[in-house]
Amino acid sequence: MKSSEDHCISIIMAYVRIDAQLAGTVAAVIDEGSFDAAAQRLHITPSAVSQRIKAVEQQLGRVVVVRSRPVRATEAGEALVRLARQVELLEHDVVAAFGLGDTGDGARRIRVPVAVNADSMATWFLAPIARIAARHPIDVDLHRDDQNYTARLLESGEVMAAVTSESAPVGGCLVTPLGMLEYRPMASAAYIRRWFPQGATDDALREAPFVDFDRRDTLQHDWLRGRGVDPWHVPRHYVPASHDFSQAVRLGLGWGLIPMPQAGDDLIDLGGPATRVPLHWQQWNLRSPLLDAIAAEVSEEARRVLAPM
């Protein structure tokens, strides 16, 4: 259900005509994180950016950005960011429909913000994005987050689409199942000789250090709990980058759950249950040939790389 704040914003949007330029300025400030950076992107002065923000705040009667470092949107600001992105996307599609915008080096470019989890970005997601970028004048803006949190970026309007573990559609979005990203518990041969000479027993797992991605990553924790081991009493190393995570496991820093596209002959499977993470593609529910083309490329690549649902 919508909060009272959301309801008020909806009423305001229904009765106030929002200048697309003002909404676009709010989006630029949120994207770039400061008034100065937004001014450079928009080719205007920081004073002009400030005046536009004040103008839309006076029009709406509420604050749209928090003047922090980086600048962040209020709930009203998030609504404006969504509006700005949707207007830009629809304008791009209309221009392309007339054959004026998708060809030649001088074609007008559009920024496409997309949220994706780190392991997908490191293993399979960049290939379809590169193919789309070769055919369309887009500037891809990838937002990396855990697959359990990427859908939040859709809700805030920061992104147009997301790879997410959530199958329930975010309000105003469409969902397409992509497949399962499978992880296996793995370690280097030297690590296994040191820590698991008798195999990865429950007692050994209580003492052997593992590699954690970050403090929101629960894959290793859930796997240990499945073996009856309390993860909070096990030593761990934090390595918050997908490639570096797998490299840390290869160097013997600890064991870890490795996505199968990153596995190789230099790592040994510890046995035990695999972890399968369902991935879905969520995008704004708009009639947009560009968004649909991106979704088609992403889905095709997912069918090649991911395990079926």
Q: What is the pLDDT of residues 77-121, one digit of tens each?
A: 988 998 898 888 888 888 777 665 554 555 678 999 999 999 999
- Counting residues of the chain whose pLDDT is more than 90, the rounded percentage is 70
CATH of 181-277, one of 2.60.120.330, 3.40.190.10, 3.30.70.360, 3.20.20.60: 3.40.190.10
Q: Each residue of 138-167: b (16+ CB within 10 Å) or e?
A: beeeeebbbbeebbbbbebbbbbbbbbbbe
**pTM score:** 0.80
Domain limits, CATH 3.40.190.10, in the chain:
181-277
Domain limits, CATH 1.10.10.10, in the chain:
1-108
pLDDT at 122 > cutoff 60: yes
What's residue 101's pLDDT? 55
* Encoded tokens for 103: 């060809």
Instruction: Express each pLDDT in 182-228 by its tens digit.
Output: 999 999 999 999 999 999 999 999 999 999 999 988 999 999 999 99
Most confident range (mean pLDDT) of 5-9, 143-147, 230-234 is 230-234
- What CATH number labels 1-108? 1.10.10.10
Instruction: Express each pLDDT in 237-263 by its tens digit.
Output: 999 999 999 999 999 999 999 999 999
Closest CA to 112 of 238, 275, 298, 254: 298
pLDDT at 47 > cutoff 50: yes
Q: How many residues does the chain have?
A: 309
